[in-house]
Structure 1
Amino acid sequence: MIRLTDVHKSFGTNDVLRGVDLHVPKGKSMVVIGGSGTGKSVLIKSVLGLVTPDSGVIEVDGVDVTRQPRDAFLARFGMLFQGGALFDSLPVWQNVAFRLMRGALKRPKAEAREIAIEKLRRVGLGPDVADRLPAELSGGMQKRVSLARAIAASPEIIFFDEPTTGLDPIMSGVINDLIREIVVEMGATAITITHDMTSVRAISDRVAMLHRGKIRWEGPIADLDHSNDPYVDQFIHGRASGPIETLR
């Protein structure tokens, strides 16, 4: 579904992506791991067309992303942002239905609200939450609302950016389980960025490690613990010593 071939991107003298090659099969959940500043967010933004690579090719469903009509192309994606990124002035149901009331996906208001309530139900929230403001919800509830918004338009591809940041271990487990269930249920193709190894093991079919702007290792989750790569081994076990440079 998604293929990056020799993708490079620099910002001034900062070479962020240095020849990324990555293939995400249709209907599979790919988790991209790697330290802060290794280019994970730039990779996702490049797939979405928010960042233009300096060279290389990015294809979605076999078509170069630069040759696809923008509105129709972006309508295929859902996104759960780090921190939720809810609109604090809108009630919950309008947050969930935001895309359904605009552009090519526009639905009548009553229908959009009905869909929003159904998606809230799917993530374990009752209709009583629909008319509350985000500030009235706990962090875990806000994350569920963000997940409901990501799936509201039944996207083919979903990106999850640090989905469990700021959550306690129990709520992190709830969100991980929801993501896995929803991706399987929808048959969606997913890319997740995370530092949380519990999330990696809970939601991934395949794992790719991005280091110094390149995919250092990629393979099925079952092979992660015996990758025989010292960089992967250091990262997944959180060791201070190893080939990955750390500030001391």
Structure 2
Amino acid sequence: MTAPKISLRGVTKSFGPKKVLQGIDLDVAVGESMVVIGGSGTGKSVLLKCILGLMRPDSGSIRIDGEETVGISSRQREAVMRKFGMLFQGGALFDSLRVWENVAFGPIQSDGMAPAKAREIAIAKLGAVGLGPEIGDLFPSELSGGMQKRVALARAIAREPEIIFFDEPTTGLDPIMADVINELIVKCVSDLGATAVSITHDMASARKIGHRIAMLYDGKLIWQGPVEEIDHCGNAHVDQFIHGRADGPIQMQVRKL
């Protein structure tokens, strides 16, 4: 049996008295698209940062391709990071760089690739997300929000990563552009044969891009399973969340009017 691409066991993370992650167990198979859903402040971003190695969990194990990554050296970390691509919330493009330079940032800075070669790759990756070569010479500020998100996706796949992370990929987009981005994510992940981990509270996006869904609530994964089973999961917290109902076991921290 093939080992999971990503495997978490007993992962915890606290900030002072606040327990953000409370014993997370999660496996993501090779080539699988896993979507972690949950409300704001439930620990989704912290979970992603722990897998990426940007934060160190207080306890637990995070294995990539069967190799432990918690507590490894910076040199070992670099080798693991080489497998990762990332689409940041809001795109996080560099304003001072042209579009092609944004897409080629990883190949040039991390791989030492010659700019001319990196530009060729950047133009090809822009094509993969439906943008013509003329877009490469523009600056991010000259693009719409949807086009910026496409450029960010092109940058995420520029080094042909084995694992791609998506942080709220449809935030700030209208429903039609959000669907376009979701379809591009599915296509790009499939074309690369990559493993994907996404965090979102957009259920339309979760249903479109995920093979499996896991729900994080109060620092714990309270349900996980195939995307087609979520509507019949029998979990009241999940049911309330996916249908966006104010009334239910999840109580928002607001004062009653």
Asked if 1:53 is matched to 2:57, the reply is yes
Q: Which residue of 1 aligns with 2:183?
A: 177
Count of equivalent residues: 247
Residue identity matched to 1:57: S
1:220 CA displacement = 0.3
Q: Which residue of 2 aligns with 1:64?
A: 68
Matches within 5 A, 1:83-94: 83-94=90-101
SS of the aligned residue for 2:137 comes to coil
Length-normalised TM-score, structure 2: 0.95
Residue identity matched to 2:248: G
Alignment deviations for residues 12-64 of structure 1 (CA, whole Å, 9 cap, x no partner): 11110011111111100000000111110000110111111111111111011
Superposition RMSD in Å = 0.8
Corresponding residue to 2:151 among 118, 123, 145:
145
Matches within 5 A, 1:11-50: 11-50=15-54
Alignment deviations for residues 123-180 of structure 1 (CA, whole Å, 9 cap, x no partner): 0000000010000000000000000000000000000000011111110010000001
1:106 CA displacement = 2.0
Q: Which runs of 5+ in 1 are unaligned?
A: none
SS of the aligned residue for 1:173 comes to helix
SS of the aligned residue for 1:130 comes to helix
1:71 CA displacement = 1.4
Q: Which residue of 2 aligns with 1:188?
A: 194
Q: Kindly, what percent of the aligned residue pairs are identical?
A: 62
Residue identity matched to 1:59: R
Q: Which residue of 2 aligns with 1:81?
A: 88
Q: Structure 1 residue runs of 4+, over 3 Å off? A: none
SS of the aligned residue for 2:102 comes to helix
Cα distance in 2, alignment partners of residues 61 and 245 from structure 1 = 38
Length-normalised TM-score, structure 1: 0.98
Cα distance in 1, alignment partners of residues 106 and 160 from structure 2 = 11
